[in-house]
Structure 1
Amino acid sequence: MLFQLAFLALGEEIAWRAFFQKQLNKTFSIIQVLLISSLLFAIGHFNQGNPVIVIYDIFFVFINSILYGIIFYKSKNAWVSAISHFAANLFSVIILVFI
């Protein structure tokens, strides 16, 4: 499971930050880039279910995406944002399993 969390985080960060965010940076300001990419990232994580939980989940995915975007923007390194993403995913799983 740890491998899966790490692999998914790295893949998402390569696609969303190292490619998509980098491309958007050529045209838009960093604030616009973070908002656009994070909104699309959050929509991509949409799941059906209880509307309150879905909205809560999308909101926090959006916020996390902004944080990963800032980390990538500052570090210029997808590995750094992927490690942050992995840590957040791992923390979420630990919370869900043990609490």
Structure 2
Amino acid sequence: MGLELYLDLLSQPCRAVYIFAKKNDIPFELRIVDLIKGQHLSDAFAQVNPLKKVPALKDEDFTLTESPWVLAAKSSKADPSWPHGGSAWRQQWGRTSSGRPMRSF
């Protein structure tokens, strides 16, 4: 299985990730998470993203949960010279966009 992208196109960060993936011909399986219906708060979605936020990108057993990380990961799919893999992302993006240290789950 390839990339799975969990999003709701009502969300601006989700649209940015979606447009980037489409524009760069990055293949992904779209998984719609309806924010208005509260699907992001479900236990099923918490298995994908314990923070219960979109967008989320799942690549086999590795998941990214904030839009800047998702865009960077998609950049590595578009340009293989980008660093990739869980340890590379943790090193490069060791803090969340809020400036807090990344939490391991």
Question: Do the structures match in fold with TM over 0.5?
Answer: no
Which TM-score bucket, shorter chain as reference? 0.3 to 0.5
Taking structure 2 as the reference length, what is the TM-score of the superposition? 0.32
- Normalising by the residue count of structure 1, what TM-score does the alignment of the two structures yield? 0.33
